[in-house]
Structures are given as C-alpha cells and as structure tokens.
C-alpha cells in the first residue's frame, strides 16, 4: 500500500452546495435593507452564472456562500456541513480545503512572487515545501504562465495577475469555486482566457458560481440565476 501524502487530504470530489431560506438584512438608519430575500437552492455541478443590476444582492449572496458574511436567517450547506454553524477557525479551515475564490481585483500578495502566491494556500494547509512547489508550478503552467513564476504581481499585466489568482484558487483542488466579476477589470481577450480557465473546473464537475453583469459571459454558464432587489430567481 502506498503512503498517503498530506495533499491527499486536499483532494475533494464533487460536493453539493445548498442554501436553505438564506437571507441577509443590513441595518440602515432607523430601518433595514433587505439585501437577500430567503433563498433556497441546490447548486448543480458545473457553472452557475449570477446576474442582476448593481446593488441587487449578488455579492451579498456570494459572501454568504463563502462564509465571509453571516446570514440573518437560513443556512449554507456544503456536503453535510452547515458552514455557518462552524467556529471562525473551523470555517477558515473548511474554506481552505473546499473553496477557491476569484475576485474582480486579483488580491495577490504584493511582496510574493507568482509562484509563492500560488503556494500560499498549500503552505497554510501544511503541504510540504517540495510538493507545494511542484503543484504551484503545475498550476502556473496550466494557466500559461510557466515563464512568469518569479515575477512579482506588480511586474505582471492585469490579465496575467488574474491568471495567477486562478491558479491560486485551484491549487487546493476545491469542490466549490466562487468568482465575483473576475473579468470586470480586463480587456476582452484577457477576459476570454479567464473564462476558459473557469469553465475547465466546471467541466470536471466542480461547482462554479460566477457573478457577472456581462450577458455574453453569463451565456457560457450551464445554469443561470438572476437577482433583483434581493430576490434570486432561477432562469431557464
Ligand atoms: N456591509 C453592508 N452594510 C450595509 N449594507 C450593505 C452591506 N453590503 C451590501 N449592502 C447593501 O446590500 C445591497 C446589495 O449589495 P451587493 O453588494 O450585494 O450588490 P451587488 O449586486 O453585488 O452590486 P454590484 O453589481 O454593484 O457589485 C445594496 O443595497 C448594498 O448597499
Ligand atoms: Mg457586487
């Protein structure tokens, strides 16, 4: 029998992402803003687009799915885990193992090279240095950046930096990938490359949730949600 490498702990297959009457209100002056009305949904494997006007509640939904924000009511389940019932530390650990994130801004660590940025989540997960290096290199090569591994984020173009962010999001082989306007700051060609990179994990059966206000981008998804004034509806 072969030894189980620590990284085997990171390898996850498809997991079901589910919301149950998930809602969020924010205090506002004397009253409240309903940013998300009770929303129950099972995210199918593949890519789900989330569209809707500015201020409609898209990022609110994503932040609740991620466990970055706390719901006013309801639950988010990933497999058997109600993520909001975990402690802060438990949730951070859960995210590390099961989630990847891509935002409009790449959020790379400025003083770390592309390679070190991609290794970072593996370091937090306790993967040994050599394996970390190899996996980060493989991911950077998959996003077409084998020649840029030692570059700092400030020495990369916007599209390249976003590809590093995708490599970082995917290096732990997460079951859930959440992206909030990942192509928002990019030119058309760079945006297309990013979308192609996001459709790959979707094809592998991962659950990808993609917020966009670009209808052409949304059309690439397998499933479609629309948000209006905090109300999420399934589009067919
Ligand atoms: N932390 C907060 N405190 C108070 N109100 C908030 C907070 N976050 C969001 N809101 C409000 O909730 C509503 C939904 O905001 P959200 O950021 O989810 O919109 P969005 O659809 O992502 O918009 P955009 O397309 O501009 O990113 C808005 O009315 C916003 O002002
Ligand atoms: Mg938003």
Ligand 1 center to residue 53 CA distance, Å?
Answer: 11
Domain of residue 115 covers 16-235
Determine, yes or no, domain membership for 6: no
196 occurs within a structural domain: yes
Q: How many CA atoms lie within 13 A of 98 on its CB side?
A: 21
Cβ–ligand 1 distance for 143 under 6 Å, the answer no
Q: Is the CB of 33 under 6 A from ligand 1?
A: yes
Give the DSSP letter string of 169-183: HHTT--SEEEEESTT
Q: How far apart are CA 136 and CA 21, in angstroms?
A: 38
Torsion of CA 137, 139, 140, 142, to 10 degrees: 120
pTM, rounded to two decimals = 0.91
- Say what the pLDDT of residue 212 is: 93
Q: If you take atom 1 of ligand 1, which residue's CA is the nearest one?
A: 26
Ligand closest to CA 227: 1
Structural domain total, the chain: 1
Q: Which atom of ligand 1 is nearest to the CA of 36?
A: 14
The whole-number pLDDT of residue 9 equals 42
Ligand 1, atom 4: closest residue by C-alpha: 26
168: domain CATH number?
3.40.50.300
Q: From the CA of 210, how far away is ligand 2's center (Å)?
A: 11
Q: Is the CB of 34 under 6 A from ligand 1?
A: no
* pLDDT single digits (tens) 67-106: 999 999 999 999 999 999 999 999 999 999 999 999 989 8
pLDDT at 211 exceeding the cut of 70: yes
What is the pLDDT at residue 5? Answer: 45
Residue 1 lies in a domain: no
Q: What is the pLDDT of residue 3?
A: 44
pLDDT at position 213: 86
**Rounded CA separation 183/218 (Å):** 12
Q: Which atom of ligand 1 is nearest to the CA of 69?
A: 1
- Local confidence band at 185 (pLDDT 50, 70, 90 cut-offs): confident
Residue nearest atom 7 in ligand 1 by C-alpha distance: 26
Domain membership flag for residue 89: yes
Q: What pLDDT, on the 0 to 100 scale, is given for residue 13?
A: 58
Residue 126 near residue 6 (C-beta atoms within 8 A): yes
Q: Which residues have beta carbons under 5 A from ligand 2 (an ion)?
A: 59
**Residue 20 lies inside a defined structural domain of this protein:** yes
Minimal-distance CA residue to ligand 1 atom 11: 35
Residue 115 lies in a domain: yes
- Asked whether 57 lines ligand 1 (CB < 6 A), one says yes
Quick one: pLDDT at residue 11? 46
Q: What is the pLDDT of residue 236?
A: 79
Q: pLDDT per residue over 3-42, tens digit each? A: 444 444 444 457 899 999 999 999 999 899 999 999 999 9
Query: pLDDT per residue over 109-131, tens digit each?
Result: 999 999 999 999 999 999 999 99
Q: Which residues does residue 99 pair with via DSSP β-bridges, in sequence order?
A: 176
* pLDDT given at position 151: 97
pLDDT tens digit string along 134-184? 999 999 999 999 999 999 999 999 999 999 999 999 999 999 999 999 998
Nearest atom within ligand 1 for CA of residue 62: 18
Domain assignment present for 47: yes
In angstroms, what is the C-alpha Rg of the chain?
18
pLDDT of 169: 96
* pLDDT for the residue numbered 96: 93
Residue with CA at minimum distance from ligand 1 atom 18? 57
CB 201 within 8 A of CB 45: no
Could you give the C-alpha distances from 202 to 26, 45, 194, 209, in angstroms and in order? 32, 7, 13, 9
Identify whether 150 is part of a domain.
yes
Kindly report the protein residue whose alpha carbon is nearest to atom 8 of ligand 1. Answer: 60
């Amino acid at each position: 029998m072969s030894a189980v490498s620590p990284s085997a702990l990171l390898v996850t297959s498809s997991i079901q992402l589910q919301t149950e009457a998930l809602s969020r209100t924010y205090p506002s002056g004397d009253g409240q803003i309903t940013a998300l009305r009770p929303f129950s949904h099972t995210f199918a494997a593949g890519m789900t687009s989330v569209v809707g006007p500015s201020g409609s509640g898209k990022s609110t939904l994503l932040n609740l799915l991620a466990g970055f924000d706390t719901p006013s009511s309801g639950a988010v389940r990933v497999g058997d885990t109600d993520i909001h019932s975990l402690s802060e530390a438990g949730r951070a650990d859960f995210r590390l193992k099961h989630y990847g994130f891509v935002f409009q801004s790449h959020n790379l660590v400025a003083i770390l090279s592309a390679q070190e940025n991609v290794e970072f989540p593996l370091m937090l997960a306790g993967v040994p240095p050599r394996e970390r290096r190899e996996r980060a290199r493989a991911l950077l090569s998959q996003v077409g950046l084998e020649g840029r591994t030692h570059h700092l984020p400030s020495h990369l173009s916007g599209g390249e930096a976003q590809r590093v962010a995708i490599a970082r999001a995917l290096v732990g082989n997460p079951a859930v990938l959440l992206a909030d306007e990942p192509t928002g700051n990019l030119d058309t060609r760079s945006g297309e490359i990013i979308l192609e990179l996001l459709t790959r994990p979707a094809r592998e059966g991962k659950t990808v949730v993609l917020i966009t206000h670009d209808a052409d981008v949304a059309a690439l998804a397998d499933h479609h949600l629309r948000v209006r004034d905090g109300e999420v509806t399934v589009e067919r």
